[in-house]
């Protein structure tokens, strides 16, 4: 079965500058984004995620490669000829227009009749719950309200694809959490394909259907949030998405011998020689000293975070492992520095990753 593809990049490349100053912002990236999905481009600044977004929006043209929208080549179409709208990081609301005029701008430029525009604006105002603010100017609104106007403005022309360029980064934490749910709701209600750019892994995990992790102009891994979190392909992805313990070891008879001398069961994926193991802190279990089949460790530090307690443990050779324990489960007293304990990894927790 094939699902419809909303946007496809074929070996999209973007170089800035020329000669010795040339910088490759995007290095032959190919990706297919399914229609109606919430797709996130995730990576640190300078990874090329915004460049890819700008290629799809038409603000830049690729140095090589193609951009397809619904199977149609739009690589060299100007932005105003693409049924794609953008929510900008700075919102970019027109300061001389009211909220209603901002939202209606796209349809007005498309030459739609006034009555149709008014109806669409009303619908959008209701969708983002700003009915009472239609006549206000953007600068009379709070940051969260401006954000919603920007969303409504981009959604009003009912684009095939909505691009969101780190739209939540200017909001405070509480509002950001609220808007994350709001965005997900809007995406589900409208059924429009959302392409969301962020450097915030939590944002990516909570909202996305699929995530592409990017680094240095390349996509390292594409997958559902759970897949990326539980089976990171390499050390960068594992480290960027959530906290991870990295352990060095050598493959030995279908298991892995750590530098501490302990043997850990893990799928070796046909590898041999030196490998890196990744283990999530919440998948480390602690029990009393001398538990058979466990790794002996010493408590180096224990930090209380409210719901969690982060326990820093040391193996025999000094390798540090962080375990995240639920405070309720770890008991009132918790663990003290210097305590001898046993630790083991949950089944399937230890993953071999590329360096």
Least CB distance to other proteins at residue 10 (A): 23
In this structure, what token pair is assigned to residue 297? 């460790």
Nearer to other proteins, 140 or 269 (CB): 140
Contact call for residue 48 and other proteins (CB under 8 A): no
Query: Whose CA is closest to 205, among 230, 187, 188, 172?
Result: 230
Within residues 133-172, the interface with other proteins by CB under 8 A covers 139, 153-154, 157
Among residues 196 and 345, whose Cβ is nearest to other proteins? 196
Binding to other proteins by residue 95, rule CB under 8 A?
yes
Contacts to other proteins from residues 99-128, by CB under 8 A: 105-106, 108-110
Any contact of residue 304 with other proteins (CB under 8 A)?
A: no
Query: Residues 211-230 vs other proteins: string with x where CB under 8 A?
Result: --------------------
How many angstroms separate the Cα of 132 from the Cα of each of 63, 126, 129, 331? 46, 9, 8, 51
Give 152 or 171: the residue with its C-beta nearer to other proteins.
152
- By beta-carbon proximity to other proteins, the closer residue of 56 and 335 is 56
Does position 174 interact with other proteins (CB under 8 A)? The reply is no
Number of Cβ within a 10 Å radius of residue 57: 19
Q: Is 59 in the site for other proteins (CB under 8 A)?
A: yes
In the chain, which ranges are E strands? 5-16, 23-34, 38-42, 64-69, 72-73, 84-87, 161-165, 193-198, 210-215, 218-223, 245-252, 255-258, 263-265, 274-279, 284-288, 295-304, 308-314, 320-326, 340-345, 351-353
- Report the residue from 16, 76, 94, 304 that binds other proteins according to the rule CB under 8 A: 94
* Segment near other proteins (CB under 8 A); pick from 16-24, 93-101, 271-279, 291-299: 93-101
Query: CA 338 to CA 315: how far, in whole Å?
Result: 12
Enter the DSSP assignment of 248.
E
- Selected from 2, 20, 45, 80, the binder of other proteins by CB under 8 A is 80
Using rule CB under 8 A, residue 78 touches other proteins: yes
Calculated CA dihedral for residues 224, 182, 154, 4, nearest 10 degrees: 30
- Complex with other proteins: residue 17 or 44, whichever CB lies closer: 17
How far is 155 from 106, CA to CA, in rounded Å? 9
Q: How far is the CB of 12 from other proteins (least distance, A)?
A: 19
Please classify residue 288 by burial: count the beta carbons closer than 10 Å to its beta carbon, then call 0-12 exposed, 13-18 middle and 19+ buried. exposed
Residue 88 as a binder of other proteins (CB under 8 A): the answer is yes
* Interface segment toward other proteins; rule CB under 8 A; list 77-85, 169-177, 285-293, 321-329: 77-85
Which listed residue (85, 193, 198, 302) binds other proteins by CB under 8 A?
85
Under the criterion CB under 8 A, does residue 84 sit at the interface with other proteins? yes
Task: Check residue 167 and report its DSSP letter.
Answer: T
* Of residues 110 and 118, the one with the C-beta less far from other proteins: 110
Per rule CB under 8 A, is residue 57 in the interface with other proteins?
A: yes
Taking CA 196 as the corner, what is the angle to CA 171 and CA 76, rounded to the nearest 5 degrees?
Answer: 125
Spatial contact of 247 and 319, defined as CB atoms under 8 Å apart: yes
Residue ranges in contact with other proteins by CB under 8 A:
57-59, 78-80, 84-86, 88, 90, 92, 94-96, 105-106, 108-110, 139, 153-154, 157
């Amino acid at each position: 079965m094939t699902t419809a593809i909303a946007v496809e990049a074929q070996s999209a490349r973007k170089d800035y500058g020329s000669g010795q100053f040339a910088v490759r912002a995007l290095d032959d990236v190919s990706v297919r984004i399914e229609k109606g999905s919430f797709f996130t481009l995730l990576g640190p600044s300078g990874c090329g995620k915004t460049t890819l977004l700008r290629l799809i929006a038409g603000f830049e043209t690729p140095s090589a490669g193609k951009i397809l929208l619904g199977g149609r080549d739009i690589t060299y179409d100007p932005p105003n000829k693409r049924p794609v709208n953008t929510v900008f990081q700075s919102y970019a609301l027109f300061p001389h227009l009211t909220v209603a005029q901002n939202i209606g701008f796209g349809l007005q430029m498309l030459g739609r009749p006034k009555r149709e525009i008014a109806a669409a604006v009303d619908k959008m105002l209701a969708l983002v719950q700003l009915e009472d603010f239609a006549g206000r100017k953007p600068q009379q609104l709070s940051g969260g309200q401006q954000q919603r106007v920007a969303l409504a403005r981009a959604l009003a022309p009912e684009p095939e694809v909505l691009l969101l360029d780190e739209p939540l980064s200017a909001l405070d934490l509480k509002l950001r959490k609220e808007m994350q749910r709001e965005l997900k709701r809007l995406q589900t209600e409208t059924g429009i394909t959302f392409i969301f750019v962020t450097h915030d892994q939590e944002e990516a995990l909570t909202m996305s259907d699929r995530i592409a992790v990017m680094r240095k102009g390349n996509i390292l891994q594409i997958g559902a949030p759970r897949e990326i979190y539980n089976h990171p392909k390499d050390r960068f992805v594992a480290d960027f998405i959530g906290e991870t313990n990295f352990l060095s070891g050598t493959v030995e008879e279908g298991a892995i011998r750590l530098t501490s001398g302990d043997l850990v069961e893990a799928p070796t994926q046909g590898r041999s020689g030196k490998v890196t193991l990744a283990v999530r802190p919440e998948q480390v279990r602690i029990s009393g000293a001398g538990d058979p089949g466990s790794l002996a460790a010493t408590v180096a530090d224990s930090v209380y975070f409210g719901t969690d307690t982060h326990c820093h443990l040391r193996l025999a050779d000094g390798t540090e492992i962080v375990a995240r324990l639920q405070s309720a489960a770890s008991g009132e007293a918790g663990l003290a520095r210097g305590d001898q304990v046993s630790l083991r990894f949950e089944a399937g927790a230890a993953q071999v990753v590329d360096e």
